[in-house]
Amino acid sequence: MATRRVIPGFGLSMGYTLSYLSLIVLIPLSALVWKTAHLHWDVFWSTVTNPIVMAAYKLSFGASLLAAAINGVLGLMTAWVLVRYRFPGRRLLDAVIDFPFALPTAVTGLTFSDLYSPHGWMGALGDHTADAANFLLGALHVAYRFGPGSFAALNLQLANTNTGVVVVLIFVGLPFVVRLVQPVLENMDVELEQAARSLGAGPFTTFRRVIFPELLPAWLSGLSLAFARSVGEYGSVIFIAGNIPGKSQIAPQKIIDFLYGFEAGGTAKATAIGVVLLSASLVVLVLINALQWWARRHER
Amino acid sequence: MSVEVRNLTKSYGNFTAVKDVSLVVNTGQLVALVGPSGSGKTTLLRSIAGLEQPDPGAGTILLNGKDVAAEPVGRRKIGFVFQHYALFKHMTVGENVAFGLRVRPWRSRPSRQEIRKIVGELLDLVQLRGMERRYPSQLSGGQRQRIALARALATKPAVLLLDEPFGALDAKVRRELRQWLRQLHHDVGVTTIFVTHDQEEALEVADRVAVMNKGVIEQIGTPTEVYDHPATPFVQTFLGTVNLFRGRIAEDLQKSGETSNGRDPTSPGKATAFVRPHDVEISRLANGHPGLVGEVISTSMTGPTTRVYLQLSDSRELVEAELTRNRYHELALKIGDTVYVSWRKAKVFADDYSI
Ligand SMILES: Nc1ncnc2c1ncn2[C@@H]1O[C@H](COP(=O)(O)OP(=O)(O)OP(=O)(O)O)[C@@H](O)[C@H]1O
Ligand SMILES: [Mg+2]
């Protein structure tokens, strides 16, 4: 401890941090657990293992994990393009990355559910494509016309589907990976790459063995934040999710159901689901942190 | 492997960092590139390595007589040691050294045991055996430097390029590593070009020294040649302290002592004589020579020699002289004494030269 004490006033700042943390984070969390403790064990267990609730966990965690994984790849690529290439519109793209942060979640939800509805731009993309092609053919005086269902495969009707949930979660989580990886990439010494190349490593090997390990801790942080945010998303997901209990209902929706339903002890049951979500998130975050700890082993 | 650079020019935007440079390094030689900061040393070295492309059509780089313009850095059989080491932080020392072997296509990749053996030998060579498992952050600057060297040597390069290998180290460690590099080069025998801005280091370690200034090589030669027979005033001033005596050739300059070759000392016109401090002679008596008159300003003891600073009475210019301890005691100089100044050896350049 002594060696890390660069700035004086350790006691004061530590005390302040702890009380702040308690007030903002620890007290609400313990209240949640406390509330759940009122439930009889049997009731708790039957609530959290109810097949409908289990399906909701599966969707929430599955979609969040999948979205985080996709964001891991997409976000890394985006950060790479933003840092390594100079192209017109780069600054604009850079600014747009923060968009999902700024947008109110309900707006995101409405936008996406509308886009992917059967009449939305994406939901009817195939029909629109056929229309546009036919218009062009007409303008060129070609007699041929595409039938109405020719591009049906392009009709991305994801509203009320679980795929739609993943798409929204990708949108919501994208900034995390980009914004965490970007500065590390910017500050990375190009000489590391050049050293690897001079030692005979090809571009792919250089990326895999030299560049990526340097980015790994930041990348993992981005992943875990994107995941944590996704698990808790409500507003943006609720409109696009099908919300059929047992099939396409997300866990936070189940909480709302218990809270506003007319079932006896609904609030306690809602918190029970909350506690499970909390514990599962905690486990995932601890796992990712352990990975990070391993990735940073050389810094100790 | 020999290295030849022919008429290389390299620009960044409209700034020319290296101008029409030619250089030949024979197999097994140890050549130093010296020059002030920004003179283009790193640029030249990086161009040889293939990390920098020469301006289109401006220059050829030949390794063993073969034009390597189309060869990427990884295939030039060079080992490059970067100014700031560029060690891979997340790899242990052993993994760093083994990197060049491990990334080979599996057909030509040595087996695990072989790699371990080679790494062990290299760590012996750089005197860091037993540090395989450490991370670069757990090493001192000098140790990191040697690991960077071991890593570059692992692929058995035919040419070793070192960019200010000892730049970031303190004077004592530098001096040790200098000797060590000399010995290593002797043992391994690989053609080596190293960059430094420390003239002492260049003169002490290298077989040949190339002095760079503003993107051009002003002179290439053995340490003795460049030190004793500098081709230009820049080389003369860069390689150690010099005193400048301005005057007219034939008259003033010859009057005050012997001059060595350089420019024809009898041609008319203004000229400057460059005299190293250890070639300055101080005497109490005129001695028949019509020498310059100066006043002792200060003296300082630097190890085995003593430096005496004088001010000439006619031109008011300062002169630095380096005397042996014996000579200094013999003269019994005191501050304020008036003495006669002459020199044993000077290099005269006519004044159309600029420094
Ligand atoms: N990537 C670059 N873009 C623009 N100018 C550059 C670049 N690299 C080098 N230069 C310029 O080229 C000139 C030569 O640089 P170089 O790095 O070769 O100098 P050097 O002799 O190695 O100096 P030092 O001793 O300080 O390392 C400098 O004036 C520098 O500003
Ligand atoms: Mg340099």
- Reported ipTM: 0.77
Count Cβ atoms below 10 Å from residue A102 Cβ, excluding itself. Answer: 8
Listed residues B214, B238, B262: the one ending a domain: B238
| pLDDT tens digits, A262-296 | 777 788 888 888 888 888 888 888 888 888 888 88
Whether the predicted pLDDT of B254 surpasses 60 = no
Tokens linked to B15? 């700034």
Confidence of residue A233 (pLDDT cuts 50, 70, 90): confident
Confidence of residue B257 (pLDDT cuts 50, 70, 90): very low
**B210 CA to centre of own chain:** 7
Q: Are residues B166 and B77 in the same domain?
A: yes
CATH 1.10.3720.10 residue ranges in chain A? 38-103+159-299
Q: B201-219: string of b/e by CB count within 10 Å (b at 16+)?
A: bbbebbbbbbbbbebbbbb
Q: Are residues B17 and B107 in the same domain?
A: yes
Interface of B with A (CB under 8 A): 49, 51, 72-75, 78-80, 82, 84, 86, 88-92, 99-100, 103-104, 135-137, 151-152, 154-155
**What pLDDT does residue B291 have?**
66
Name the percent of chain A lying above pLDDT 70: 97
C-alpha–C-alpha distance, residues A252 and B65, integer Å? 72
Contacts of B89 in chain A (CB under 8 A): 214, 298-299
Q: Are residues B256 and B213 in the same domain?
A: no
Q: Are residues B93 and B197 in the same domain?
A: yes
Confidence of residue B330 (pLDDT cuts 50, 70, 90): confident
| pLDDT tens digits, B113-129 | 999 999 999 998 888 88
Confidence of residue B303 (pLDDT cuts 50, 70, 90): confident
Whether the predicted pLDDT of A75 surpasses 50 = yes
**What pLDDT does residue A149 have?**
76
* Nearest chain B CA: its distance from A298 CA (Å): 5
Identity of the residue in B75, B84, B103 whose CB atom sits nearest the CB atom of A191: B84
Mean pLDDT of A116-139: 85
Whether the predicted pLDDT of A4 surpasses 70 = no
| pLDDT tens digits, A167-219 | 899 999 999 999 999 999 999 988 999 999 999 998 999 999 999 999 999 99
Q: Are residues B219 and B268 in the same domain?
A: no
Q: Are residues B182 and B146 in the same domain?
A: yes
**Residues in the ligand 1 pocket, defined by CB under 6 Å:** B 12, 15, 17, 35, 37-43, 197
B355 occurs within a structural domain: no
Q: Are residues B32 and B167 in the same domain?
A: yes
Closest by CA to B149, choosing from B194, B104, B201, is: B194
Confidence of residue B32 (pLDDT cuts 50, 70, 90): very high
Q: Residue B274 belongs to what domain range?
A: 243-350
Q: What fold does the segment set A38-103+159-299 form as a domain?
A: MetI-like fold (1.10.3720)
Name the percent of chain A lying above pLDDT 90: 23
**What pLDDT does residue A6 have?**
64
Tokens linked to A131? 């229309």
For B81, B89, B99, B123, the CA distances from B116, given in Å and listed in that order, are 22, 20, 11, 11
Confidence of residue B348 (pLDDT cuts 50, 70, 90): confident
**What pLDDT does residue A5 have?**
60
Q: A270-300: string of b/e by CB count within 10 Å (b at 16+)?
A: bbbbbbbbbeebeebeeebeeebeebeebee
Q: Are residues B248 and B182 in the same domain?
A: no
Whether the predicted pLDDT of B261 surpasses 60 = no
Confidence of residue B86 (pLDDT cuts 50, 70, 90): very high
Which CATH number characterizes residue B332's domain? 2.40.50.100
**What pLDDT does residue B354 have?**
44
Which is more confident, A9 or B195?
B195
Listed residues B211, B238, B265: the one ending a domain: B238
Mean pLDDT of A224-230: 89
Do A71 and A78 touch, CB atoms closer than 8 A? Answer: no
B265 occurs within a structural domain: yes
Q: Are residues B179 and B275 in the same domain?
A: no
Confidence of residue A300 (pLDDT cuts 50, 70, 90): low
Listed residues B194, B212, B238: the one ending a domain: B238
B19 occurs within a structural domain: yes
At residue B105, what is the residue type? P
Q: Are residues B232 and B307 in the same domain?
A: no
Contacts of A192 in chain B (CB under 8 A): 86, 88
- Considering only CA atoms, which residue is closest to atom 4 of ligand 1? B12
Q: Which range is most confident: A20-24, B3-7, B238-242, B339-343?
A: B3-7
Whether the predicted pLDDT of B252 surpasses 80 = no
* Nearest chain A CA: its distance from B305 CA (Å): 43
**What pLDDT does residue B258 have?**
44
Which CATH number characterizes residue B126's domain? 3.40.50.300
Whether the predicted pLDDT of A119 surpasses 70 = yes
Whether the predicted pLDDT of B251 surpasses 60 = no
Report CB contact under 8 Å: B103, A195. no
C-alpha–C-alpha distance, residues A167 and A70, integer Å? 10
Report CB contact under 8 Å: B89, A298. yes
Name residue, tokens 């100014």: B83
**B168 CA to centre of own chain:** 15
Report CB contact under 8 Å: A201, B84. no
Mean pLDDT of B267-273: 66
**What pLDDT does residue B329 have?**
85
C-alpha–C-alpha distance, residues B157 and B85, integer Å? 17
**What pLDDT does residue A7 have?**
65
Mean pLDDT of B10-19: 92
Tokens linked to B305? 């020699």
DSSP letter for each residue of A115-149: HTSTTSTTTTHHHHHHHHHHHHHHHTT------TT
Confidence of residue A40 (pLDDT cuts 50, 70, 90): confident
Do A177 and A222 touch, CB atoms closer than 8 A? Answer: yes
Mean pLDDT of A150-163: 79
C-alpha–C-alpha distance, residues B88 and B348, integer Å? 51
| pLDDT tens digits, B126-149 | 888 889 899 999 998 888 988 998
Confidence of residue A1 (pLDDT cuts 50, 70, 90): very low
**What pLDDT does residue B259 have?**
47
Q: Output the average pLDDT for chain B.
A: 84
C-alpha–C-alpha distance, residues B152 and B167, integer Å? 18
Tokens linked to A249? 């209902």
Name the pTM for this structure.
0.77
| pLDDT tens digits, A242-255 | 788 878 888 888 88
Q: Is B157 exposed, middle or buried (0-12, 13-18, 19+ CB in 10 A)?
A: buried
Range from A133-137, A157-161, B106-110 carrying the lowest mean pLDDT: A157-161
Q: List the Cα angle A198/A200/A201 in 5-degree steps.
A: 105
Which of B45, B85, B90 should one mutate to test binding to chain A, selecting the residue with the greatest count of A CBs within 10 A?
B90
- Considering only CA atoms, which residue is closest to atom 6 of ligand 1? B12
Which is more confident, B39 or B253?
B39
Q: What is the 3-state secondary structure (H, E, C) of chain B?
A: CCEEEEEEEEEECCEEEEEEEEEEECCCCEEEEECCCCCCHHHHHHHHHCCCCCCCCCCEEEECCEECCCCCHHHCCEEEECCCCCCCCCCCHHHHHHHHHHCCCHHHCCCHHHHHHHHHHHHHHCCCCCCCCCCHHHCCHHHHHHHHHHHHHCCCCCEEEEECCCCCCCHHHHHHHHHHHHHHHHHHCCEEEEEECCHHHHHHHCCEEEEEECCEEEEEECHHHHHHCCCCHHHHHHCCCCEEEEEECCCHHHHCECCCCCCCCCCCCEEEEEECHHHEEEECCCCCCCCEEEEEEEEEEECCEEEEEEEECCCCCEEEEEEEHHHHHHHCCCCCCEEEEEECCCEEEECCCCC
Q: Are residues B283 and B329 in the same domain?
A: yes
Q: Are residues B270 and B186 in the same domain?
A: no
Count of domains for chain B: 2
Mean pLDDT of A42-60: 85
